Chain A
Amino acid sequence: MRDKLLIIGENKDASLRNVTFEAIAAAKKINESSEIVGVILGDEDLTNQAQEMIYYGADRVVTVKHDNLKSYTSEGYGQALMAVINEESPAGIVMGHTAIGKDLTPKLANKLETGLVSDAVQIEADGDKVEFIRPIYSGKAFEKKIITDGLTFVTIRPNNIPALERDETRTGDITEKDIDVTDIRTTIKDVIRKASEGVDLSEANVIVAGGRGVKSEEGFKPLYELADALGGAVGASRGACDAQYCDYSLQIGQTGKVVTPDLYIAVGISGAIQHLAGMSNSKVIVAINKDAESNIFNVADYGIVGDLFEIIPKLTEEIKKVNQ
């Protein structure tokens, strides 16, 4: 019988996050001949999202609609997904390593008494042998992991495994499954939006990060303008967060977020080993710093020595100019 891999899709503001499509591509890497079954949960009609999953490579999609699935809770999503998993009995499950993925998948893995490889950035498969590569020590090293028993359960880091091309000619079944979701002990009272508008750090292709050299909360403004011009997100070093120039949720580093964007612009960041751990695997790194001796220049592809308050606005202008 043909194997089946389940992709847990993730909704954000009524559309699917890109990592969902990356998860479909990841499943194809695990086993190209498997049937790819998407699952999406929510409290509204999910047909559009289901259709998108099919365009991106899913063979069919199961949706679960219930009032108690309006917002993510581990209990609500856990119940609904366990019902789907038990019915489908997939050979593997793939989900994004996002806030929800990190919260939910260990619970499912525990219920299934199975292993879970989290935060995979690369998948190498050769027949039945599937190896997952994931960063350890915040990217100071990598490990290659295999699953020795049970389901192939993996979360993938956003932005590392490219999604397949969207193909509107693809077709597949969409079934709505009726599952009762009850007895939820945790309720969400409110969500306060604080993250930089639109672009999430973990999924950003471009990150402009500021350090102590930015000097103040006000000093972050030109960085936001540059990030806007680039369609990117703003991040920070621990130094800038400790000095209260910005929120801790922006912190990149060993104690903070670990990011791998295509372009990382480090502004006024000296390059402590803890910060480098969180960003040094970015594809292209640009460092802008007053001090030519700064450690950040050792990992940068391009370096500019000078006053960031002079350089950043000029850079923003130049980028706007070439993008016109």
Chain B
Amino acid sequence: MNIYVLLKKTFDTEEKINISDGQIEDDGAEYIINPYDEYAVEEAITQRDTHGGEVTVVTIGDGESEKQLRTALAMGADKAVLINTEDDLEEGDQYTTVKILKAFFEERDVDLILAGNVAIDEASGQVGPRLADSLGISYVTTITSLNIDGDNVHIEKDVEGDVEVLETSLPVLVTCQQGLNEPRYPSLPGIMKAKKKPLEELEMDDLDLDEDDVEAKTKTVDVFLPPEKEAGRMLEGEVENQVEELVSLLKKEDKVL
């Protein structure tokens, strides 16, 4: 089975966000594999171990993205592809990303593509469904269970807390949600092996694309932090009094009850 994982690097979830000149400061920030993409990597490896085949991890990024790809290889993926747009692309959006991925996938045989439900930075959640539509294959988002039997695919999907059970067929693209699996940590032998696994680097030229072909349809014109919260008020006294005071404040002052 030809299994592909779409991977994005994101800021570590511990990172505080600072802004200068209307942009997010990324100097010295720690990057990780987008947490939802970790579920995708884990699921890809599990499916390969059950059905055979090969897991290829694909990212669009810069030279630094190699680190996250190596982590995925250390987890157990077989191959990695970095589409390096550092020199070719100033700004892009989901339209851009999908144009590039479409060009990448057009020449390939695909059975299963896995991606994260959203990336925790821009959180658009658009890339998976857009790509599936571009490739003319089915997709199911926010999956929490995946069983493949021949060409039939049984999926459980999280729909705002409810579980939808559905069936579709290969090839399919899925986006992964919490509860799907427990991503493994790369083992030491895994890390050693990952160094020797193939990591292919492509540029937009290699995909017969230039900047105009992928020009974004949206633009970020400003980035800002939410207003700082003023220090709150600690209630004091007997529990009964605190509770009464709280309810009264919420009702009369904040008018939220």
Q: Which residues of A contact B (CB under 8 A)?
A: 74-75, 78, 98-99, 102-107, 109-111, 113-119, 131, 135-150, 185-196, 200-202, 205-206, 230, 241, 247-251, 254-256, 258, 262-263, 273-274, 277, 280-281, 283-287, 292, 297-306, 310-311, 314-315, 318-319, 322-323
Given contacts A106-B129, A318-B244, contact A284 B250 (CB under 8 A): yes
Are A144 and B221 touching (Cβ within 8 A)?
A: yes
- Point out the residue from B16, B223, B239, B247 that lies within 8 Å of A143, measured CB to CB: B223
Q: A283-B256, A303-B233 are in contact. Are A136 and B121 (CB under 8 A)?
A: yes
A311 touches B239 (CB 8 A): yes
> Chain B 200-236 against A: per-residue CB contact (8 Å), 1 yes, 0 no?
0000000000000001111111111110010111110
Does B243 have its Cβ within 8 Å of any Cβ on chain A?
yes
* Bound Cα distance A103, B138 (Å): 12
Interface positions of B from 142 to 187, Cβ below 8 Å from A: 142, 158-169, 178-179
Chosen A-B contacts, 5 in total, with CB atoms closer than 8 Å, are A103-B129, A145-B218, A148-B216, A263-B257, A310-B239
Partner of A254, one of B13, B232, B256: B13
B246 close to chain A: CB less than 8 A: yes
Cα–Cα, bound, A149→B179 (Å): 38
B249 cross-chain contacts in A, Cβ below 8 A: 302
B217 to A150, Cβ gap below 8 A? yes
Q: Does B240 sit at the interface, judged by CB under 8 A?
A: yes
B interface residues, Cβ below 8 angstroms from A: 11, 13-14, 16-17, 19, 24, 35-36, 93-95, 98, 120-130, 132-134, 138-142, 158-169, 178-179, 215-226, 229, 231-235, 239-240, 242-244, 246-251, 254, 256-257
A273 B225 Cβ-Cβ under 8 A? no
Write out the residue numbers on chain A whose beta carbons fall within 8 Å of the beta carbon of B234: 292, 297, 302-305
- In angstroms, Cα B38 to Cα A246, docked, is 22
Contacts of B231 in A (CB 8 A): 298
Residues of B near A116 (CB, < 8 A) are: 94, 124, 126, 218
Give A322 to B255 CA distance when docked, in angstroms: 13
Inter-chain contact B162/A194, CB cutoff 8 Å: yes
Q: Which 5 pairs across A and B sit closest by C-beta, in order of nearness?
A: A115-B217, A195-B161, A106-B129, A115-B218, A106-B126
Tell me if A99 and B142 are in contact (CB < 8 A). yes
For B14, B36, B98, B256, the residue with the greatest tally of chain A CB atoms inside 10 Å of its CB is: B256
Minimum CB–CB distance for B137 against chain A, Å: 9
Main secondary structure of the interface of A (DSSP, over half): mixed
Q: CB distance A141 to B168 under 8 Å?
A: no
Min CB distance A135 to B, Å, is 7
Minimal beta-carbon separation of A185 from chain B (angstroms): 5
Residue of B nearest to A200 (CB): B160
Contact check, A304 vs B16: say whether CB atoms are below 8 A apart: no
- B218, B232, B251: the one contacting A148 at CB < 8 Å is B218
- B248 surroundings in chain A (CB, below 8 A): 322
On whether the beta carbons of A249 and B179 are closer than 8 Å, the reply is yes
Verify B223–A136 contact, CB threshold 8 A.
yes
Q: Which of A137, A146, A297, A314 contacts B120 (CB 8 A)?
A: A137
Contacts of B162 in A (CB 8 A): 191-195
Are A300 and B232 also in contact (CB < 8 A) when A255-B13, A280-B226 are? yes
Q: A118-B125, A297-B234 are in contact. List 14 more A-B contacts (CB 8 A).
A: A74-B129, A102-B141, A106-B94, A111-B133, A116-B94, A119-B123, A137-B121, A140-B16, A143-B223, A206-B256, A287-B232, A301-B229, A311-B242, A315-B246
Task: State whether A196 touches B161 (Cβ < 8 A).
Answer: yes
Known: A98-B160, A145-B218, A263-B257. A138 touches B225 (CB 8 A): no
Chain A residues contacting B216 (CB-CB under 8 Å) are 115, 148
**Looking at the complex, which one of B16, B124, B256 makes contact with A263 (CB distance below 8 Å)?**
B256
Contact residues in A for B126 (Cβ distance below 8 Å) = 105-106, 109, 116, 118
**What's the Cα separation between A314 and B163 when bound, in Å?**
34
Query: B229 touching A247 by the CB < 8 A rule?
Result: no
Quick check: B124 and A118 within 8 Å, CB to CB? yes
Chain A residue nearest in CB terms to B161: A195
The complex places the Cα of A117 from the Cα of B220 at a distance, in Å, of: 10
In the complex, A105→B178 CA distance in Å? 22
- How far apart sit A302 and B248, CA to CA, in the bound complex (Å)? 12
The distance from the CB of A322 to the nearest CB of chain B, in whole angstroms, is 6
| A115 B93 Cβ-Cβ under 8 A | yes
Task: Tell me which residues across on chain B come within 8 A of A297, comparing CB atoms.
Answer: 232, 234
Once A191-B159, A311-B239 are accepted as A-B contacts, the answer to whether A142 and B168 lie under 8 Å apart by CB is no
CB atoms of B158 and A249 under 8 A apart: yes
